[in-house]
Amino acid sequence: MRACIPLVLAVLCSLAWAGKMESCASRCNEKFNRDAACQCDRRCLRHGNCCEDYEHLCTEDHKESEPLPQPEEETEEALTSNLYSAPTSCQGRCYEAFDKHHQCHCNARCQEFGNCCKDFESLCSDHEGFSHSSDAITKEEIQSISEKIYRADTNKAQKEDIILNSQNCISPSETRDQRDRCPKPLFTYVNEKLFSKPTYAAFINLLNNYQRATGHGEHFSAQELAEQDAFLREIMKTAVMKELYSFLHHQNRYGSEQEFIDDLKNMWFGLYSRGNEEGDSSGFEHVFSGEVKKGKVTGFHNWIRFYLEEKEGLVDYYSHIYDGPWDSYPDVLAMQFNWDGYYKEVGSAFIGSSPEFEFALYSLCFIARPGKVCQLSLGGYPLAVRTYTWDKSTYGNGKKHIATAYIVSSA
């Protein structure tokens, strides 16, 4: 598949449109605005995208502003969409090639030329290619193992297994209007024989075990807990997960395969609370099944879940802002959709990948780059995945659960 519009053109259009808002006058502590050339929200210093007059206009007179939301509430839509428009941050861009159209840079020589983005030091210099400890996993090692995982995914869909109708591509600035620009479903055809494969079947069995609304505690039956174990058991039989375990074992992250499996179960399936009730969410539910919080869809980054819900008439595909460069599966799509009455402004997902492939890459990034952007390589194309840790509770010896994981940029 190809990008729906040339990325350089998309960036230039975004720059022209955003040029109207380059000051924090009357904008102090507003919410993130992807249509603006620079930001005035409380996180702009962290992300390095503040307007030049932010400190002068906002930092003294507005100290009693609303508290910052938790990381998992840091709207994936804002982070993902911003990376497909004009970037002013190194989020997902560490050590990328020089691009004259960018306002600031994140390449290895930006410090020499004095044109680094403000968050270069915090996001890039302590990882992605620079190892500061003997057990650090380098960017090159992550890219190498991600290519091995890509090649090992023999359970992925073939070209003839999926007919996709992506229809209308829109600009990032158009995602807020919640318009349905695609009269037909995203999936014209899927060969459902894929779903009889052991890992697909075990994955699908898990999807109906959750309540999508946060604030309602999850209570698993013995059968549902057994389905979690069955899924882990099946994916560990695959070449994809064997590659991942072998890599992490070699990196001294796990002493045995059983230790690895136990950790995967805790980090992905361990319950925590996003709402008012104890144990109403998990990394697996959020990323693969999807949740609804405060009237918005959160998570929901899986093509199989999307297809099954669309087939039942519960998902209405609206549009997309990005279609990846891969000419075979797995591919990447960043899309907008309505899930049974709730809108997803930007949801990125692999298309045509096996469950073990996604599970492996997200796990790799969470283990190697927890809470950071993780630079991968798939079939020779770059891909970035962002993970967040759940910081309010832990398991084991202070280990953290997955709050979310999703694709933030590609080619």
Q: Which of 118, 156, 344, 400 is catalytic?
A: 344
* Token code pair at residue 373: 């952007």
Q: How far apart are CA 28 and CA 402, in angstroms?
A: 32
Catalytic member of 156, 286, 293, 372: 286
Compute the chain's Rg from CA coordinates: 21
- 372 catalytic? Reply is no
**Does the active-site annotation cover 400?**
no
Is 265 one of the catalytic residues?
no
Our CA angle for 104, 109, 113, nearest 5°, is: 65
Catalytic residue among 105, 118, 127, 301: 301
CA distances, 342 to each of 217, 279, 291 (Å): 20, 23, 10
- Beta-strand (E) ranges in 146-275? 162-164, 187-190
CA–chain centroid gap for 176, Å, is 19
In angstroms, what CA-CA distances link 63 with 28, 58, 59, 356? 10, 8, 6, 46
CA distances from 166 to 50, 162, 188, 343 (A): 34, 12, 10, 18
Tokens of 264: 């995967």
C-alpha distances in Å from residue 311, one per residue of 48, 61, 190, 357: 42, 52, 10, 23
- Active-site annotation, residues: 286, 301, 344
